[in-house]
Structure 1
Amino acid sequence: RALEARQPHGRLVTTVEVAASILFLADPANGSTTGVCLAVDGGMHSLLLRPPGSG
């Protein structure tokens, strides 16, 4: 519960969501999508954490 509460959208990313992202990138119909770093992390990548001891 504590880990889920830390997520920006209030839950962990599911395996289905990760798989869907992989399928999107692997799909030949998306051949023009190249050199992409796709963060499937529910917003954790851009979350700014407070430094230790700051509050």
Structure 2
Amino acid sequence: MPLGRLAEPAEIASVVEFVLSADSSFMTGSVLVADGGYTAR
């Protein structure tokens, strides 16, 4: 469901923070899309 708005910088920063953290250590070869649902249309 598209959110219908642009992301706030803090929202994108949260995604980057997750990818750089130990919480994502088990992820391999994944593509994370942080587009507010735009590609889900």
Taking structure 1 as the reference length, the TM-score comes to 0.61
Gaps of 5+ in 2: none
Which 4+ stretches in 1 moved above 6 angstroms?
Answer: none
Could you state the TM-score of these two structures normalised by the residue count of structure 2? 0.75
What number of residue pairs does the alignment pair up? 40
Q: Any unmatched runs of 5+ in structure 1?
A: 1-7, 48-55
State the identity as a percent.
Answer: 32
* Aligned with residue 35 of structure 1, among 18, 29, 32: 29
Q: Compare relative contact order (CA 8 Å, sep 6+) and give the higher one, 1 or 2.
A: 2
